[in-house]
Amino acid sequence: MLNIVKDTFHTIGDRSSELARTFGAETADLAKRFGSETASLAKRIGPRRGLIGLAVLATTIGGSVMLVRYLRARNLDKARGARETGDHPSHGAQSHNRSRAQPPGDVQPSH
């Protein structure tokens, strides 16, 4: 019984090493090809346009993160305000546009 287990693990080990060598060789070839294509693309674009593109990409990512944070904070403020006044978010936009100090029936004159 012990010999069968040893033979099984030995066979698995031999096959896995072959698989690892094959996978490693394919990965290395892919990395070489991808690296050379990236290098040729960088040479065609040039450093100035590359830096401009990198700055635009960073601004886009940073701006989207800031926009998402702003929208989440705004929704949280609305939810907190509705809880404090007893309004429910399902009452519509009029309850959020009205001043908290102003009762629903009072209209203040504008200057």
pTM flag (> 0.85)? no
Do 17 and 6 fall into the same domain? yes
Residues 54, 37, single domain; the answer is no
As for how many domains the chain has, the answer is 2
The answer to whether residue 107 sits within a structural domain is: no
User: Are 80 and 65 members of one domain?
Assistant: yes
Q: Is residue 102 part of a domain?
A: no
Structural domain including 57 reads 46-85
Q: Evaluate if residue 16 carries a pLDDT over 80.
A: no
Residues 78-108 have pLDDT tens digits of 988 888 776 655 545 444 555 455 555 555 5
Query: Which is nearest to 11 in space by CA: 3, 26, 22?
Result: 3
CA-to-CA distance for 9 and 3, rounded, in angstroms?
10
Whether residues 75 and 51 share a domain: the answer is yes
**Residue type (1 letter), 32:** K
Q: Note whether residue 91 is domain-resident.
A: no
Please say whether the beta carbons of 94 and 84 come within 8 A: no
The rounded distance, in Å, linking the Cα atoms of 90 and 71 is 19
